[in-house]
Amino acid sequence: MSFQINPAKPFSDELKRVGLELIDDAISGLSQQPDGPHAAVHDARKKFKRLRALYRFTQAENPAFRTTENLRFRDIARSLSQAREAAALVETIHYLQDFTNTDAQRAALTSAHDTLAKRRDAITGDDGDLHIRIAATIAECENGRRALKQLSLPESQKVAVKLVRATWRKQRKRALEALKACHEQAHDEAFHDLRKSGQVYWMHLALMRRVWPSAMRAKKIHAKELVDLLGHEHDLSVLATFATQEPESFANDETLSVLRDAITHRQQALRQECLDLADRVFAESAKSESRIISLLWDHAAG
């Protein structure tokens, strides 16, 4: 699958082509599950994020479509979130294990891993309802596919340039607002908003990389690095919340205490890394960068 739009072709056709490929790939992965249900759900949810990022480009000309389909694929992803979040907790323990320094930390994290792995398997195993949720997701993807095939957008180059510029500027403004909140407040929600903005930015860079391949590739690399760091930060926040809300899930108070300390220590370091990198990734103003991208698009479209 090629997650990029060719500016030399009609914008509406390209948007629909990319969207249909994403939906078809999600359906195929969920149906066949070559690496098991955990991986299939994870891959499908990533495709739904890309699809929602793609649909942002329809907002200015067809807001009804964007609203309806954004909600559709948001809700689809949420229906699979319990299984994914259960698996993500286990993966976060794996991540923390790379930063252990003492035998006590290693023992506590091993205990936490075993507990969370059993919980994951109970949620996604034969006794769970994941297979039912996946079947419902596939059916809803088919509905989304039909809606996309019926999408109508103006085909003029002028409209395409307008959509690119407006979408880029709006999303970059959100990113800068989220970054400012992280610097001022450092709340979990602020970093979560920055992560979402970073993800959309990275996806949009991938979509538009044909307008200036070398520059877009460099920007995309740095944006992906930021998204990965913010992903780990978010996972640690989710794990910390789980430990607070369900302390009885862990073997004993000592395991819980060591786990919380490990989360806090790593999260503090991660947040500083994220802010330093985000300041560089989002150094350009929203107005300036959106103008540049739209000019590049117009030139590439010929």
pTM of this structure: 0.92
Q: What is the pLDDT of residues 68-126, one digit of tens each?
A: 999 999 999 999 888 788 889 999 999 999 998 899 999 999 999 999 999 988 877 65
Please tell me the CATH code under which domain 11-301 is placed: 1.40.20.10
CB–CB of 112/255 below 8 Å?
yes
Environment class of 289 (CB within 10 Å of its CB; exposed 0-12, middle 13-18, buried 19+)? middle
In tens digits, what is the pLDDT along the chain, a chain of 302 residues? 578 999 999 999 999 999 999 999 999 999 999 998 878 998 999 999 999 999 999 999 999 999 999 999 999 999 988 878 888 999 999 999 999 889 999 999 999 999 999 998 887 765 568 888 999 999 999 999 999 999 999 889 999 999 999 999 999 999 999 999 999 988 999 999 999 999 999 999 999 999 989 989 999 999 999 999 999 999 999 999 999 999 998 988 999 999 999 999 999 999 999 999 999 999 999 999 999 999 999 999 87
Q: Whole-angstrom Cα distance, residue 116 to residue 35?
A: 20
Alpha-carbon distance values, 164 to 67, 174, 184 (Å):
18, 16, 30
